Amino acid sequence: MADRYLRFTRTAPGRLLTRRLGLPEPAALRRRTPEHPTLDGEIAHLTVGSSTAGEPELAAVLASTGLPVAAAAADPAAIVIDATGVASARALAGVHALLHPVVRSVAASGRIVVLGTPLSATDHHQAAAQQALDGFVRSLAKETGRGRTVNLVRIAGGARAAESTLRFLLSPGSAYVSGQTVEVSDTAVTTPDDWSRPLAGRTALVTGAARGIGAAVTETLVRDGARVVCLDAPQAGGELDRTAERLGAAALPLDMTADDAAERIADAFPDGLGVLVHNAGVTRDRRLSNMSAEHWSSVLDVNLTSVLDTTDALLKTGVVAAGGRIVATASIAGIAGNSGQTNYAASKAGIIGLVRSLAPRAAADHGVTVNAVAPGFIETSMTAAVPLLIREAGRRMNSLAQGGLPEDVGATTAWLAHPASGSVNGQVVRVCGQSLLGA
């Protein structure tokens, strides 16, 4: 369903009325198109004190985005401020000193990325200063406006390990990702031969792929070169076939809760699976006092139990092996909770627990990363059925004052599935325009 308020605010009467009444003024977000795959303009590269990320290496990574990099730029498309050397509360003044004069000059739909380091377990001054950057970024993201995003990347080693992350956050693909902190380890990464088709030669499975977010994820992975199999419940067969045909993918009708689901998936990928995207999900909304046991179990079975069971089986049998990527779909409901969704919120919080526990072991034992995306209000047929006032609240209660699009989740998933994202593991990244709900 079209966001009529968003369209109205882009007319002259709409701009006048919203400003006079102090109503939200959502900006037109710059998203990726074939004609404009990158932002327009320069990257301003600023450094507070001494960098621990390696200045030459970071400069080379920023240059790889295809945008010119300068120490100063008028109306830059992005600002990258290297605060990896900030190790004390007093040193935080350097962040203010560098950003204060230029923050307003960032172009509409521009990007601000702050680079930090993991918190020290032995130096509480460093830990305090670096954690302060988290609060700084979340607050700045709420006040920049004009469709700009602000994110924090904590780099454990050299900047090269963060290349896929910086390319994503400095691109139109991250339009609905803001106020997030991403940890990047010092794991060695695999650089693709072609950054425009990084998944060439890899196979991917997307569950819940017949429509909405799943279809958008499929489309993005196909665009990036993957051979994709779309999976959905047998009752979605007609729509699943149409989606697969439209996107140049294969269709696999399958009930993920079936006892032989993992076995049938393994049969579909005799040569292994490079990317596994757990997107299948259902809702059965009721307040707990009115929720039947069937409504509880049906949601937990699809959204969580099937994910646990198939992941375990596909890792154990080596179907998803070294270099593989597992990306699961959580939700801000699993972070903040939602009235009438105790079952759904429990299942999505369970996904977060799965990711945080399994990620280090999957990396150590199998060479596989495990991450999650947590969408907020995304414009789909499901949210179109939400009552008007609740729908409008969902759209406006974020720093960008609008709903996201399925392609926003698709782009974030593709980044986590990237062969060069091996240093990104155990992360839960919210795709919510910095929703005001939850942390």
Active-site positions read 344
8 A C-beta contact, residue 280 and residue 214: yes
**Can you point out the beta strands (E) in 149-298?**
149-155, 181-184, 203-207, 227-232, 250-253, 275-278
Query: DSSP states of 68-106 as a string?
Result: -EESS-SS-SEEEEE-TT--STGGGHHHHHHHTTTGGGS
Q: What does DSSP assign to residue 192?
A: P
Calpha distance 186→162 (Å, rounded): 9
Single out the residue of 365, 367, 360 nearest to residue 427, CA to CA. Answer: 360
Helix-strand-coil percent breakdown of the chain, rounded to 5?
Answer: 45, 15, 40
Calpha distance 49→51 (Å, rounded): 7
Calpha distance 20→9 (Å, rounded): 12
Across-strand partners of 154? Answer: 116, 183
Calpha distance 194→223 (Å, rounded): 13
Calpha distance 160→58 (Å, rounded): 7
